[in-house]
Amino acid sequence: MVDLLTQGVSLLEVIGIRIVPILVVIVAFRFILQRAGRRRIEFIKEKFYEPTKKPVDSDWGIRILYPNRPIEKCIILYNNAPLPWWDNDKPYYERKIDKNGSGIVRVPKAIQKEGAKIRFKNGKKTMLKVKFEHLYTAKP
């Protein structure tokens, strides 16, 4: 910096040469973070206790509520086993959830365990991983 000043370059030019590249990097990084945040699908997830026999024998259900973007191929896994959606007599494991929509899956009694890991997926992409105990417990 002293070398530049002795060569007749003004103090403002020296500051500009040093600061402007840093500011450009900060602005670009902020832009990238904002863009990544918009692509991320956010939603409310909760569990509830409600024994039922349809579509499978189950005590617990998991709700996914109000996604900020549509989820084209929503799949919810319980320790890597897909959970059935509740709104059909015949179990199915993949479904579209519209923006601000909702869906419910049932946890079969046969696979219920302590410390189970829940994975919310959109097709092959994992959106979120959480332990079953850490899901908010809501009323049915």
Q: Please, what is the average pLDDT of the chain?
A: 87
How high is the pLDDT of residue 17? 73
Which residue carries 């896994």 as its tokens?
77
The DSSP call for residue 41 is -
Rounded-to-integer distance, Cα 41 and Cα 138, Å:
22
**CA 57 from centre of chain:** 28
Round to whole Å and give the CA distance between 121 and 88.
20
Fold of 44-138: Immunoglobulin-like (2.60.40)
Question: What pTM does this model have?
Answer: 0.72
Nearest to 94 by CA among 119, 116, 68, 76: 76
pLDDT, one tens digit per residue, over 48-78 is 999 998 888 999 999 999 999 999 999 999 9
What is the tens place of the pLDDT at every residue in 94-123? 999 999 999 999 999 999 998 999 999 999
